[in-house]
Chain A
Amino acid sequence: MSWKPEADDLAARRAFADALGGPEAIDKHHAQGRLTVRERIAGLTDAGSFQEVGKLTGKGAYVDGQLRKVVPAPYVMGLAKIDGRPVAIGGEDFTVRGGTSWGSDRRKGGQGGFVEDLAHEYRIPLVNLIDGAGGSVASATRRGYTVFPGVHGFERSVQLMAEVPVVSAVMGTAAGGPAGRAILAHWSVMVKGTSQVFAAGPPVVERSLGQKIDKEALGGAGIAVDTAGTIDNAADDEPGAFAMIRRYLSYMPRNVWELPPAVKSDDPPDRADEGLLTIVPRERRQPYNMRKLVAMIVDRDSAFEIQPTCGRAVITSLARLNGYVVGIIANNPMVNGGAMDVKAARKQAHFIQLCDTFHIPIVFLVDVPGFMVGLAAEQAATLREGMRAVYVALQATVPMLTCVIRKCYGMAGMGTTDKNGLDFKIAWPSAEWGSLPVEGGAAAAFKREIENAPDPAARLKEIEADLRKLASPLLTAEAFAVEDIIDPRETRAYLCRFVEAMQGRLATTLGPKLRAGVPP
């Protein structure tokens, strides 16, 4: 007597799970331009690599003890591979009860679910495919009581942030707990037009504030990515989001106890791009394209920009130098002249902690005139957020390399150096630095002398000219107060040598980063 009847029963039950919420619900979901959770997992992970866990979970309907139907639990998860490397992956199934939480004995996903435990115990990255609105007030009628916030809490999600890469992809409309989990990630992506994320959706907003606003205007990519930076990157469609997730994870180690994966680079480390000699205009008021500059230095096509549309005064990219993963932080002179505003500071601070946590050395390409000034900047707490970015940089222990391209001034400039480490700074001939730029600075420092001069305007110009003579970076190099001035074309080769040399140090300081103290 074999176990064939039971095996057939299992196959039937799995077929119910594969059918999700049924053809009608799937058609409706597709009509909104969205893939089902199973299509998403298949589209993102290596072919045939998904080992589902908990496929039998659901509500069975029985007639005379015979199974007639199973409504599957609205969460699909398990183990899979992305580019040959294991990940824990899961997502809500919107076609079953809108992906709302499920009263199973053990949670599959969501806060404290099995998929989070899997990532924690096996120290593998976690990918959250988010498409749900979380709890529903209707659950109280099922339970007979209301649940206290945090009964299924974020404690595991928080723990994971110090252990393994966590990626969240907002694939539908996310509010409540799923929206919270979207934020509790090292990197997040959403899809333009078909995904939205907010603390609460339009009905709650209208009830609370009387504001009538549709979900796209409230929490589409235009708000959540471009304006607020709530979510890091936006993709044009779901396959585009999958490609970005694969790309992001390619720079990440499996966990904080390992180094990020180095690859063999076919881009020569001593490649000297002639364009570097002309990219910075001699006229110091004219900006230039920092993204092009970054692309000329790092391994060809290796830069992946995080938050490209928010906090644009600074560019933060994961990239490679001679195959080794690095984090690039480059000021963008096209926005605020590169001055650090609140959004740029927030982005830079997050990126530094990301790199520090996963042992990714940081390369600063510096052109920063200081913190953003003016009433709007003060109202937005630029000083506080800016100092937080400086604090985070000074607390980080991952090696940093500083290359000053043009301006390096003030507190924002100070935050671009490895003061706890080698404090290694190189600069281009176009570099200039100080506590603040000569313009503006001279008028304040020599106020009385200028006012008492017969021709104050002429005296100011004389003072500024004298100060500029002292501003040559070569004078600072003579004093070894900057370690080197280099031909811009040498930048890649110089950085590649030092990134290679620091690998031994990186390999012997692995593990979680403990950060004491209170950031401002």
Chain B
Amino acid sequence: MATKEVKSEITGAVWKIVKQPGDLLGEEDAIMILESMKMEIPVLAECTGKLLELKVKENEPVAEGQVLAVVEV
């Protein structure tokens, strides 16, 4: 069983958490939605798996490259 870190590709803030730890993820499912430059940018699962851990909370600022979640793949 392997785990994979989901990193932010952008600088912004967490607008809404969509999935919770334990939730199953399909490919391209939105795990959370970030807000950056007045846009809602979904953070998508790269492959199917299970969300193990969220590393951020709603409204928290995030930097490019920051780990947002850990997924079991």
Q: A285 vs B10: C-alpha distance in the bound complex, in angstroms?
A: 16
The answer to whether B11 touches A337 (Cβ under 8 A) is no
The answer to whether B9 touches A287 (Cβ under 8 A) is no
The 0/1 profile, CB within 8 Å of A marked 1, for residues 4-48 of chain B is 000001110000000000000000000000001111111000000
Chain B residues near A437 (CB-CB < 8 A)? 38
Is A208 on the interface with B (CB-CB < 8 A)?
Answer: no
B65 CB to closest chain A CB (Å) equals 10
The 0/1 profile, CB within 8 Å of B marked 1, for residues 280-314 of chain A is 00000111000000000000000000000000100
The answer to whether A334 touches B11 (Cβ under 8 A) is no
Chain A residues near B42 (CB-CB < 8 A)? 287
**Other-chain residue from A286, A335, A369, A439 in contact with B10 (beta carbon distance below 8 A):** A335
The answer to whether A337 touches B36 (Cβ under 8 A) is yes
Chain B residues near A369 (CB-CB < 8 A)? 37-38
The answer to whether A285 touches B38 (Cβ under 8 A) is yes
A110 CB to closest chain B CB (Å) equals 37
The answer to whether A336 touches B36 (Cβ under 8 A) is yes
The answer to whether A439 touches B9 (Cβ under 8 A) is no
B63 closest partner in A (C-beta): A376
A471 CB to closest chain B CB (Å) equals 15
Chain A residues near B38 (CB-CB < 8 A)? 285, 337, 369, 437, 439
Chain B residues near A439 (CB-CB < 8 A)? 38
Is A91 on the interface with B (CB-CB < 8 A)?
Answer: no
The 0/1 profile, CB within 8 Å of B marked 1, for residues 456-472 of chain A is 00000000000000000
Q: A336 vs B64: C-alpha distance in the bound complex, in angstroms?
A: 11
If A336-B36, A337-B36 touch, whether A376 touches B41 (CB-CB below 8 Å) is no
B11 closest partner in A (C-beta): A376
Q: A376 vs B37: C-alpha distance in the bound complex, in angstroms?
A: 14
Is A37 on the interface with B (CB-CB < 8 A)?
Answer: no
The answer to whether B37 touches A337 (Cβ under 8 A) is yes
The answer to whether A286 touches B9 (Cβ under 8 A) is no
Chain B residues near A373 (CB-CB < 8 A)? 37
Is A219 on the interface with B (CB-CB < 8 A)?
Answer: no
A373 closest partner in B (C-beta): B37
Chain B residues near A74 (CB-CB < 8 A)? none
A285 closest partner in B (C-beta): B40
Is A339 on the interface with B (CB-CB < 8 A)?
Answer: yes
Interface residues of A in 376-417 (CB under 8 A from B): 376
B65 closest partner in A (C-beta): A227
Most buried by B among A337, A372, A374: A337
Chain A residues near B9 (CB-CB < 8 A)? 312, 334-335
If A312-B9, A376-B11 touch, whether A336 touches B40 (CB-CB below 8 Å) is no
Is A333 on the interface with B (CB-CB < 8 A)?
Answer: yes
The 0/1 profile, CB within 8 Å of B marked 1, for residues 24-43 of chain A is 00000000000000000000
Q: A52 vs B41: C-alpha distance in the bound complex, in angstroms?
A: 53
A319 CB to closest chain B CB (Å) equals 24
The 0/1 profile, CB within 8 Å of B marked 1, for residues 413-453 of chain A is 00000000000000000000000010100000000000000
Interface residues of B in 31-73 (CB under 8 A from A): 36-42
Chain B residues near A337 (CB-CB < 8 A)? 36-39, 41
Chain B residues near A374 (CB-CB < 8 A)? 11
Q: A335 vs B36: C-alpha distance in the bound complex, in angstroms?
A: 8
B29 CB to closest chain A CB (Å) equals 15
**Other-chain residue from A286, A312, A336 in contact with B37 (beta carbon distance below 8 A):** A336
If A312-B9, A376-B11 touch, whether A339 touches B37 (CB-CB below 8 Å) is yes
Chain A residues near B11 (CB-CB < 8 A)? 336, 374, 376
Q: A285 vs B12: C-alpha distance in the bound complex, in angstroms?
A: 14
Q: A312 vs B10: C-alpha distance in the bound complex, in angstroms?
A: 10
B59 CB to closest chain A CB (Å) equals 16
A95 CB to closest chain B CB (Å) equals 37
Chain B residues near A333 (CB-CB < 8 A)? 39
B40 closest partner in A (C-beta): A285
A113 CB to closest chain B CB (Å) equals 41
Interface residues of A in 270-287 (CB under 8 A from B): 285-287
Most buried by A among B10, B36, B38, B39: B39
Q: A60 vs B40: C-alpha distance in the bound complex, in angstroms?
A: 68
27 A-B contacts, Cβ less than 8 Å apart?
A: A285-B38, A285-B39, A285-B40, A286-B39, A286-B40, A287-B39, A287-B40, A287-B41, A287-B42, A312-B9, A333-B39, A334-B9, A335-B41, A336-B10, A336-B36, A337-B36, A337-B37, A337-B39, A337-B41, A338-B39, A339-B37, A372-B37, A373-B37, A374-B11, A376-B11, A437-B38, A439-B38
Listed from nearest, the 5 A-B pairs whose CB atoms lie closest are: A337-B37, A337-B39, A285-B40, A339-B37, A336-B37
Residues of chain B having any CB pair with chain A under 8 Å: 9-11, 36-42
Q: A336-B11, A337-B36, A374-B11 are in contact. List 6 more A-B contacts (CB 8 A).
A: A287-B39, A287-B42, A334-B41, A335-B9, A338-B37, A376-B11
